[in-house]
Chains A and B, each alone.
Chain A
C-alpha cells in the first residue's frame, strides 16, 4: 500500500519539477505533500501527519499568494538537452550508490531488534514515558520533555526565520 502511494508521489514530484505551468507545479507539490501525510497515517504517525498536512497547506497558500501573481505563470524558453542528460546520468549514478548502501539497513518494519534497554532510547520512551512524564502521547513527551532542548532550538529557528523575512522585506535599506 505504502509503495503504491509512493509511486504516485514520485510521479507527482516529476510533474511538479517538469511542468511548464507554475500553478500546476505548485498543485503537484501539494499532491506530493498530502501523499506524504497519507503515508504517515499508514505508518502510524498521527502527530506527524497532522503537522505535515498543516505545513503543506501553509506552504501552498504562501507560495500561491506570494509568487504566482508576480510572474508569467508559463515558463518559456527551450530546455537545455545536455543539462538534462547530464542531470539524469548523475542522479542515476547517485542512486546506484545508494542502493548499495541501503542493503545493510535493518529489515523494513523490524523495529526493534533488541530487548528493552537504556541503549535504545525509543524503547525506553515507550516503556517508561507515561510513568516518568505523566502524559500519554509519547511523541509529545519526547518533543517537550526528553528532548525539549531540541524544541527550544526549533522554536528559535522559526523565530529567526520570521525575523529574517521581516528584515529582508523591510522598506528602508
Chain B
C-alpha cells in the first residue's frame, strides 16, 4: 500500500469514469464532457508524478539559495507538460463543440444514435 498511494489510484478511477462515459453515452455533449474528464485525469496524474512531499512551488523568490531551492521545489517539467496538454485539450474541445453545433444544425439533435447517415 505504501508503494501504490491512493492518489494515483483515484486519478486512474477518474480516468476510467471518463472512459465509461465516452464508450456508453449517446449524447454529443455528454461525450465531450466525458472526454474532458479523461483529459483532466491525465493532467492530474502527471502532476502527481512530479510532486514532492513538503515541497515548494518552482518559482524562485529573491534571496533564495539556488541549491536549497533545487532540493525543495517540485518538478517544473511536469507542470510545463500539463500546461501544454491543457491548452491542446482546450483546442480539441473547441473544435469538437464547433462540429457538435454544426451537427445540431443539420440534425436538430445532439443524440448521436439518431444520426444514421453512415452505414457503419
In-complex A–B contact (CB below 8 Å): yes
Q: How large is the interface on B (under 10, 10 to 19, 20 to 34, 35 or more residues)?
A: 35 or more
- Which residues on the A side are within 8 Å of B9 (C-beta)? 99, 102
> Per-residue CB proximity of B31-65 to A under 8 Å, as 1/0?
01110110010011001111111011111110000
Chain A at the B interface: SS class: helix
> Per-residue CB proximity of A123-148 to B under 8 Å, as 1/0?
10111011100001111011100010
The 9 A-B pairs of least Cβ separation, nearest first, read A161-B91, A109-B53, A108-B5, A136-B60, A165-B98, A17-B21, A142-B80, A126-B70, A122-B77
Instruction: Report B's interface with A, CB cutoff 8 A.
Output: 2-14, 16-21, 23-25, 27, 29-30, 32-34, 36-37, 40, 43-44, 47-53, 55-61, 66-67, 69-70, 73-80, 82-84, 86-95, 97-102, 104, 109-111
A-B contact pairs, 27 of them (CB 8 A): A3-B6, A10-B17, A13-B14, A17-B21, A17-B25, A26-B33, A32-B40, A52-B86, A70-B104, A71-B104, A84-B24, A91-B17, A94-B16, A102-B12, A110-B52, A111-B49, A111-B74, A116-B70, A125-B77, A138-B58, A138-B60, A138-B73, A139-B80, A139-B83, A142-B77, A158-B87, A162-B91
